Amino acid sequence: MDAPEKGWQARFYTIWTGQTFSLVGSSLVRFAVIWWLTERTGSATVLALANLAAFLPTVLLGPVLGTLIDRWSRRWIMVVADGGVALLTALLALLYGLGTIEVWHVYLLLFLRSVGESLHSPAMDASTTMLVPREHLTRVAGINQARQSASWMTGPVLGALLIEVLPIQGVLAIDVLTALPAILPLLFLDVPQPVSSRGTTAGELTGGGESGWQSLWRETREGLHYVWSWRGLAVLFFSLSAIVFFQRPAASMLPLLVTQHFGGGATELGWLSGTWQASSVLGGLALSAWGGFRRRLTNMMVALVIYAGANLARGLVPAEGFWYVVAASAVGGLSMPLFFASLRAMLQTTVPPEMQGRVFAMQGSISMGAGPLGLVLLGPVADRIGVQPLFVGTAVSCLLVLGLWLLSPGVRAVEEGPPDRATAVESV
């Protein structure tokens, strides 16, 4: 691939800044809707189903959406995805304003929003490879993770304040407004497209005499085969599902941990979520300045240990120990940028640019595949026994996955690229 042009910072960070506003708005929507469901139902099952609705598109549609990202203009994918998500939020706000909102409306709109987000996130990750020089990818990934964590921190904290003074439709309207600075730079700034092994760019991958559906399916199978034949990467992706089986339902029930176990409210939830995300912001900035350990897999292993410890605290601390859990969150948040920024940079430097849409989407689909199963099975269980055991299960699964990685030669060698070096891009 051609190296990004000199002066890449101006174009990349203009797009990056606009996307930051959109992330904050989306975080507000998540907090406001989940808190509304918590207050209205107080049900772990309802929260599990809401998270399931927001989660399924990534799992079920990921491979196909990834193929579309590699076929189409990634810039216009982001424009359409941002605009579509904003329109869905406006519709949700209208239903709240009319007083006709039902729980199933929230499920449906969370599902549809997730389709847009499942297109947008891999498109942005794959575009970053084309916009940022290779030597800066880990540091940029750290900044990206800090930005994401900052948006997740701002959402709960700002959401807890705004819910006290605005109706929920007013909070949702903020998300619609934040879509504008995300979309406008993309209308004027170009995002380079990768050249495929066939010598074509995105939008030209027609596959000879094949129909559109035939070529779409062939390219999707190519992506699946690419991941499956790289056994170390496949083991890494699939093993993460063991963590997500417990983590996804546990994370979705954090409001119930606050209300039912610690006896708190929106303010306490804001403290717990905000502290975690503030720590993640600092961790992302530190990683951007430091660059992490030489081996990115080492970063990810250290992150698993930190994450396991934080979840043990959430699962074992008694009701009077709320502030101990806040302190554990201040440490646990460091695991997020260390893990996800390292994983992102590893894929950006070992996967060919024309395959990255598919690989990033499949990483979400495979790694997160156990999340819906966990939500369906463990939501009703948590209604009976409480939510704390889910956090303990998350911690134990982290340690088991760590042991598997240490014992797997393929995982330990994953940073060297695919076994067939001809399929890797050495000068990403």
Q: Copy the structure tokens of residue 416.
A: 């060297």
Largest CA distance in the chain: 68
Instruction: Please report which confidence band the pLDDT of residue 209 belongs to, taking 50, 70 and 90 as the band edges.
Output: very low
Among 8-12, 145-149, 212-216, 345-349, the range scoring the smallest mean pLDDT is 212-216
Q: What is the pLDDT of residue 327?
A: 92
DSSP reduced 3-state for 13: helix
10-34 average pLDDT score? 84
Least confident of 9-23, 201-215, 311-325: 201-215
Lowest-pLDDT range, 108-117, 173-182, 264-273? Answer: 264-273
Residue 422 has pLDDT above 60, yes or no: no
> Has residue 301 got a pLDDT over 90?
yes
DSSP 339-360: HHHHHHHHHHHHS-GGGHHHHH
What is the DSSP track for 254-269? HHHIIIIIS---HHHH
Task: Characterize 192-217 residue by residue with b for buried, 16 or more Cβ atoms within 10 angstroms of its Cβ, and e for exposed.
Answer: bbbbbeeebebeebebeeeeeeebbe
Which of residues 416 and 154 earns the better pLDDT score?
416
Q: Identify which of 319, 189, 304 has the alpha carbon closest to the alpha carbon of residue 263.
A: 319
- Stretch among 9-18, 75-84, 141-150 having the lowest mean pLDDT: 141-150
Q: pLDDT at position 6, please?
A: 64
Residue whose C-alpha is closest to residue 23's, from 112, 148, 169, 176: 148
Question: Which of 117, 115, 159, 123 is CA-nearest to residue 27?
Answer: 159
Residue 174: predicted pLDDT: 84
Asked if pLDDT for residue 9 goes beyond 90, the answer is no
Task: Give me the long-range contacts of 151-154 (CB less than 8 A, separation at least 24).
Answer: 151/20, 151/23, 151/24, 151/26, 151/27, 152/27, 152/273, 152/277, 152/280, 153/273, 153/274, 153/276, 153/277, 153/278, 153/280, 153/281, 154/24, 154/27, 154/28, 154/277
Angle formed by the axes of helices 137-165 and 335-350, nearest 10° = 140
Domain 8-195+215-417 architecture: Up-down Bundle (1.20)
Please report the pLDDT score of residue 345 as a whole number: 85
* Average pLDDT of every residue of the chain: 82
Residue 411, φ and ψ in degrees, nearest 5: -70, -40
pLDDT at position 72, please?
83
State residue 298's pLDDT score: 93
- In which band, very low, low, confident or very high, does the pLDDT at 235 lie, cut at 50, 70 and 90? very high
Extract the tokens encoding 78: 């982001």
Q: Across 110-223, where does the E strand assignment appear?
A: none
Answer yes or no: is pLDDT of 351 > 80: yes
Please report the pLDDT score of residue 197 as a whole number.
46
Side-chain half-sphere exposure of 268, counting CA atoms within 13 A: 18
Question: Please, what sign has the CA dihedral across residues 234, 236, 242, 246?
Answer: negative
Is the dihedral angle over the CA atoms 288, 292, 295, 301 positive or is it negative? negative
Q: How many helices (H) and strands (E) in the chain? A: 17, 0
Whether residue 89 contacts residue 172, with contact meaning beta carbons closer than 8 Å, is answered with yes
Structure tokens that stand for 282 in this block: 């600092």
Least confident of 6-20, 115-129, 150-164, 408-422: 150-164
Length of the chain: 428
pLDDT of residue 117: 83
Is residue 236 pLDDT above 60, yes or no?
A: yes
Looking at the predicted structure, is the pLDDT value of residue 130 above 60?
yes
Tell whether the model's pLDDT for residue 207 goes beyond 60: no
d(CA 243, CA 399) in angstroms, rounded, equals 9
The arithmetic mean of pLDDT across residues 331-357, rounded, is 87
Round to whole Å and give the CA distance between 260 and 319: 9
CA distance 27 to 174: 11
For the chain, give percent helix, strand, coil, nearest 5.
Answer: 85, 0, 15
Mean per-residue pLDDT, 137-159: 75
For residue 10, count other CB atoms closer than 10 A to its CB. Answer: 9
> Rounded to two decimals, what is the model's pTM?
0.71
pLDDT at site 39: 81
Residue in 49, 102, 109 with CA at minimum distance from that of residue 84 = 109
Supply the DSSP symbol for 423. Answer: G
Distance of CA 27 to the CA centre of its chain: 12
pLDDT average, residue stretch 375-382 = 80
Q: Where are the domains of the chain?
A: 8-195+215-417
pLDDT at 1 (0 to 100) = 46
Task: Examine the pLDDT at 202 and tell me if it is beyond 80.
Answer: no
Q: What is the pLDDT of residue 136?
A: 78
Angle between helical axes of 356-367 and 335-350 (0-180°, round to 10): 140
Least confident among 7-11, 150-154, 349-353: 150-154
pLDDT of 205 reads 41
